[in-house]
Amino acid sequence: MSVARSRSSTPTVWSFFSGAMGLDLGLEDAGWHPSLAVEIEPKFCMTIRRNRPRITVLESDVADLNADELFRATGAREVDLMVGGPPCQSFSTGGNRAALDDPRGNAIFEYLRLVSEVRPRMFVLENVANLVTAAMRHRPISQRPGKRWNLSSYSNALTPALFEVQGVAAPLAEDEQSGSAIRYLLSTVIADLGYHVRFAILNAADYGAPQNRLRFVMLGSRDTPPPNFIEPTHGTPSQPRVTVRDAIGDLVDDPGPGSQYTPETRAFFDLVPPGGNWRDLPPDIAVKAMGEKSLLAGGGKTGFFRRLDWEGQSPTITGKPNRKGSAMCHPSVSRPLSVHECARLQGFPDDWVIEGSIADRYTQIGNAVPVALGRAIGTTLHQPSGADDVNAETMLQRAVARLRASARNKTSRSTRGEDAT
């Protein structure tokens, strides 16, 4: 028995935190067409209205909405699918990782509250992969017990004294433990919904995106167990992964508008080979490029001074491609990726208009779910109901293992000078 409604009828789909609609475009490709989009940012709403004028758009915070208002606004009597990717900065390694202490982290609760009120037949919750390891209360890495960052191994030219860490940190409290945030969600709010759930970590590159982007995806089904996630469609000899060249190779001479590097930053990037990052800089120049504070911060810092590789996949596209910790340089020209190039790497069609300033457009594109991943999720939702024989803890362990395996591969690639994604 299929979880989804018969394809002969039109399912009612509501989208929340819709942004530039990357997830929604993928769902549309799979036959799920949103009739409602809820988005708080005015510029994002302009993008939705420009490209999908027939969709009901509510420019609102989900915390201010309830089921009655949504049904009145749309005229719907029941909902087949609710999809939402609440703001993820509070769980992302690129954010402050305040988790549930951050109002953006609490947006997950508000979304699930609406699920409980609307009672759709299915829902999708999408977020950053690090949701499975996030703590309810984050303690900076440098303040954790047993952490002694010694980057002097990077090069003998760096002074070991730079990397000494003083003092002994107190043990982590229960709410500071890895995974405490998702375990809390699973044992309270999600358990109270009464839905069958299935979740996993998916990589957009496995489904045709020219980008390594790991995401947490949860499927909820009201009446029957959700389907199993479809197998990867790319990454085999018969169907290799889509490359950066495949996506943006035709835009080298006409990339369109975008930000620019300062002459000093451009000079640093001139020394980074395709697929490389700051570790490829000579040690004395690395100190100048990174600054002692960044070098002392701990962690792999593979996001600094990255240059894309034509024959690989892009790292995760962010909303600030010119920011020091997330900069991504063009594979063959020492400049940031343009707005158009970022949109291509996310899978947006060329005729999809992103409204606002250049900064607004970068943000909308970087915050989006790759269209190819949305398509994979939508295709999954059409599959038959899966077996309800895997408990939440097992799914969580599998998700964490996937995340850690990706981190190991990322470190290995960066140390070999390959694509550090």
Mean pLDDT by 10-residue block, N- to C-terminus, for the chain (421 residues)? Answer: 52 98 98 98 98 98 97 96 84 52 73 97 96 84 59 43 52 85 90 95 98 97 96 96 98 93 94 95 90 68 90 94 84 96 98 97 97 98 87 93 83 43 37
Could you give the angle at the alpha carbon of 390 between the alpha carbons of 385 and 393, nearest 5°?
Answer: 135
Q: Please, is 11 exposed, middle or buried when counting C-beta atoms within 10 Å of its C-beta (0-12, 13-18, 19+)? A: buried
pTM for the predicted model, two decimal places? 0.87
Quick check: 222 and 120 in contact, CB under 8 A? yes
Domain with CATH 3.90.120 in the chain: 244-363
Does the domain at 13-153+174-237+368-415 match CATH 3.40.50.150? Answer given as yes
Task: Note the pLDDT of residue 280.
Answer: 94
> By three-state DSSP, how is residue 83 classified?
strand
Task: Note the pLDDT of residue 124.
Answer: 98
Tell me, what amino acid is at 77? R
Sign of torsion over alpha carbons 268, 316, 294, 145: negative
Task: Note the pLDDT of residue 386.
Answer: 86
45 among known catalytic residues: no
Task: Note the pLDDT of residue 104.
Answer: 52
Task: Note the pLDDT of residue 161.
Answer: 45
Task: Note the pLDDT of residue 420.
Answer: 35
Q: How far apart are CA 298 and CA 156, in angstroms?
A: 18
Q: What is the DSSP string of 303-325?
A: TTTEE--TTS-B----S-TTSTT
> By three-state DSSP, how is residue 202 classified?
strand
Q: Residue 134: what are its φ and ψ, rounded to 5°?
A: -65, 145
Task: Note the pLDDT of residue 61.
Answer: 96
Tell me, what amino acid is at 198? R
Task: Note the pLDDT of residue 388.
Answer: 73
Return the DSSP state at 201: E
Contacts of 283 (CB under 8 A, 6+ apart): 154, 155, 157, 158
Q: What is the largest CA-CA distance in the chain?
A: 69
Q: Which region, left, alpha or beta, applies to residue 356 given φ > 0 means left and ψ of -120 to 50 means alpha?
A: left
Task: Note the pLDDT of residue 169.
Answer: 66
Task: Note the pLDDT of residue 3.
Answer: 45
Q: How far apart are CA 417 and CA 421, in angstroms?
A: 11
Q: What is the DSSP string of 127-194?
A: EEGGGGT--SS---GGGSTT----GGGG-TTS-GGGG---S-PPPPPGGGSTTHHHHHHHHTHHHHHT
Task: Note the pLDDT of residue 101.
Answer: 59
Domain with CATH 3.40.50.150 in the chain: 13-153+174-237+368-415
| Arch. (CATH architecture) of 244-363 | Alpha-Beta Complex (3.90)
